[in-house]
A and B are shown apart, each in its own frame.
Chain A
Amino acid sequence: MSYGRRHALHGVDADFLPGAVGLLGPNGAGKSTLLKALLGFVRPDSGRMQVLGMDVVDRPLEIRARLGYMPESEAHIPGVNAVTLVAYCGRLAGLPAADAMQRAHSVLQYVGLGEARYRAVDTYSTGMKQRIKLAQALVHDPDLLFLDEPTNGMDPRGREEMLDLVRDLSGRKGVNLILSSHVLPDVEATCERVVVLHQGRVVAQGPIAELKASSRRVFEIRVKGDVARFVAGLRAAGVECHDPAADLMRVLIGEDRGARDLFALAVQHGVQVRHLRPSEQTLEDVFARVVDEP
């Protein structure tokens, strides 16, 4: 997949199984491009993609009839109020006018815009615009939802509410979804599986629980002294070290090693250990490891 001469995705081989799947990756990893390719907006240079068992190139309209897309960037139909916009989207997706209007009202209630549904969308705040994007993606009752950075620009409360909606949709309403995000806690809070993209390639995929299960032991550590020298020493000793610039860095060591080895390395490199606590491996640790982030 390329934009002109720039390759956005290459050699991507991934399965998005039913349920909620997170599409993770740093900015520019190719997440949005992958979603747009699955929507048929961009054609792959080679290879095949299937959505809901249908080929993206051969049957794009049938796919889009069963799919809802919440784009990353601010997007709306200009000059209309929320209920008109959502009903219009329902009609574009093939719903009869009366059904589209009825569903527009109920979907707007569902996403928390019931009180503001007669207001012009141009006057909405960023958080409200995120919700209207979700409403237009839901109005025709898709079997599969593509959510591209759904919590972008939302305040903490709005973000929690959006994540609640995502959990409800996949957990109770039976809507399959792909949630693309670079915010790891959002994905961890809503998805059972992840596909991790980095520089246009799939670098990890599978159930989050399995990816987090590791033979390595994790510690949080804070030291006083020459941290850079200590980190270099840890790495030289085969210890994985994440967030070295943070107050508390996370280190992953082999199963056969423990706190005693970390103390020994600290002494060896002339730093004092001020905090050392065992921890669990998180999605952030997995992410940092697969994208080779220090």
Chain B
Amino acid sequence: MPIHYHGYARYAGTRRPPGQAWAVIAGAGLRNMLSARPFLFVLLFAWLQFFVRGVMFYLAANVPQADVIAPSPATFRDFFDQQGFFVFVVAVYAGTGLIANDRRANALQIYLSKPLTRVEYIAGKLAVVMVFLALVTWVPAVLLLVLQTMFTGSLSFVREHAFLIPAITLFGFLQVLLASITVLALSSLSTSARYVGMLFAGALIFSEAVFQTLRGVTGGTGLSWVSFSANLAQVGDVIFRIEPRYDTPWGVSLAAVAAIIAVSAWVLVHRVRGVEVVT
């Protein structure tokens, strides 16, 4: 028998108890995305605003004439707003194929025949998108706050605006969760990542177009709840303690965001199955 031939032997090593497979799925997904060079460029590009704002913070802290660009809570709110484009790009790049590709290759049967639950599978996939989205939203926002403290050499800004850390965390989480779970739910509906990307973009653009049309017709923004992005923006304004930009009560916008998350979770739980049920 050649030395390289081991044949089949029984396994006598250790086994991890069930409940941790989501981390294996998440780790594999993260490694897979990080091995794609174009995706790294997208991530790098998404940090451009961070570097620009970092320079502005430095100037505001060290050059008296640059006082007009000194940061405020609204600065952080604007940062999240402007990162919205990269949230969309990263969600499409990292999220559209996560379940769609598995469905195309019938991989769900393989996954779910292992000791892991459907919730673990979904959690693992969700973690992949959420980590990358947090990397372009929450992480740079927190680092900006750290930079502000370092450049001014005092904690006075953080003390004055103590709500900023929880606001950044809460809004970052909401933005990341909403985008991640929506794109993942759409991914579970199809076997084509490209089609999922078009669906995701279509849903965002269509809902915004409907809102803008209604805004033109009614002359007000009381119907902003029909738009995905307007709902998130409205809730974000409240979290950052600035004047809400639309007439819709923020509670309605929050309910709309919660409804989207709930529907997406329902779709995921019903679409991720080891067997296709055709009735």
**Hey, which bits of chain A sit against chain B, CB under 8 A?**
3-6, 36, 39-42, 61-62, 64-65, 67-69, 71, 73-79, 88-89, 91-96, 99, 103, 105-107, 109-110, 114, 136-138, 140-141, 168-169, 173-174
Measured between beta carbons, the chain B residues less than 8 angstroms from A79 are 32, 101
CA–CA, A196 and B112, complex, Å: 26
Q: B105 near A88 (CB under 8 angstroms)?
A: no
Among B47-85, those with CB < 8 Å from A are none
Q: Does chain A have a CB within 8 A of B156?
A: no
In the assembled complex, how far is the CB of residue A105 from the closest CB belonging to chain B, in whole angstroms? 7
- The one of A73, A93, A114 in contact with B106, judged by C-beta atoms closer than 8 angstroms, is A73
- Closest approach, in angstroms, between the C-beta of A201 and any C-beta of chain B? 20
Q: What residues of chain A lie closer than 8 Å to B274, measured between beta carbons? A: 36, 39-41
Are A103 and B11 interface neighbours, CB within 8 A?
yes
Q: Which of B152-185 contact A (CB under 8 A)?
A: none
A41-B109, A92-B24 known, 20 other contacts, Cβ within 8 Å:
A39-B113, A41-B275, A61-B115, A61-B117, A71-B113, A73-B109, A75-B105, A75-B106, A76-B105, A76-B107, A88-B28, A92-B21, A92-B116, A94-B15, A94-B17, A99-B13, A106-B8, A136-B110, A141-B11, A168-B8
A75 touching B13, Cβ below 8 Å: no
Q: Of B8, B104, B112, B116, which is in contact with the most chain A CB atoms at under 10 Å from its CB?
A: B8
**Contact partner, B7, options A3, A40, A64, A106, Cβ 8 Å:** A106
With A and B bound together, what is the CA distance between A281 and B20 in angstroms?
Answer: 52
Nearest Cβ on chain B to A113's Cβ, whole angstroms: 13
Tell me which residues across on chain B come within 8 A of A42, comparing CB atoms.
Answer: 275, 277
Given A41-B273, A92-B25, A99-B13, A71–B109 Cβ distance below 8 Å?
yes
A73: which B residues are within 8 A, CB to CB?
106, 109
Cβ A94 vs Cβ B18 within 8 A: yes
Task: Quote the shortest CB–CB distance from B63 to chain A (angstroms).
Answer: 50
Interface of B is mostly: loop
How far does the Cβ of A120 sit from chain B's closest Cβ, in whole Å? 12
Enumerate 29 A-B pairs (CB-CB under 8 Å) in ascending A order.
Answer: A3-B278, A3-B279, A4-B277, A41-B275, A42-B275, A62-B115, A65-B18, A65-B115, A68-B113, A69-B113, A77-B102, A77-B110, A78-B105, A78-B107, A89-B110, A92-B24, A92-B25, A95-B11, A95-B13, A95-B15, A99-B13, A106-B7, A106-B9, A109-B7, A114-B5, A140-B15, A141-B10, A141-B11, A169-B8
**Chain A's interface: helix, strand, loop or mixed, by majority?**
mixed
A251–B278 CA distance with the chains assembled, in angstroms: 41
List B contacts of A107 (CB < 8 A). Answer: 8
| Complex: A42 Cα to B117 Cα, angstroms | 13
Closest-by-CB residue of B relative to A173 is B8
Distance of A88 Cα from B29 Cα, bound (Å): 11
A169–B9 Cα gap in the complex (Å)? Answer: 10
Task: Known contacts A73-B109, A92-B24, A93-B115; decide if A114 and B4 are in contact (CB<8 Å).
Answer: yes
Distance in angstroms from B232 CB to nearest chain A CB is 32
Q: How far is the CB of A234 from chain B (nearest CB, A)?
A: 42
Give CA–CA (A152, B277) in the complex, Å.
Answer: 22
Bound state CA distance, A75 and B275, in angstroms? 12
Q: List the A residue with the shortest CB-CB distance to B109.
A: A71
Is the pair A76, B4 in contact by a Cβ cutoff of 8 Å?
Answer: no
Residues A71 and B9 in contact, CB atoms below 8 Å apart? no
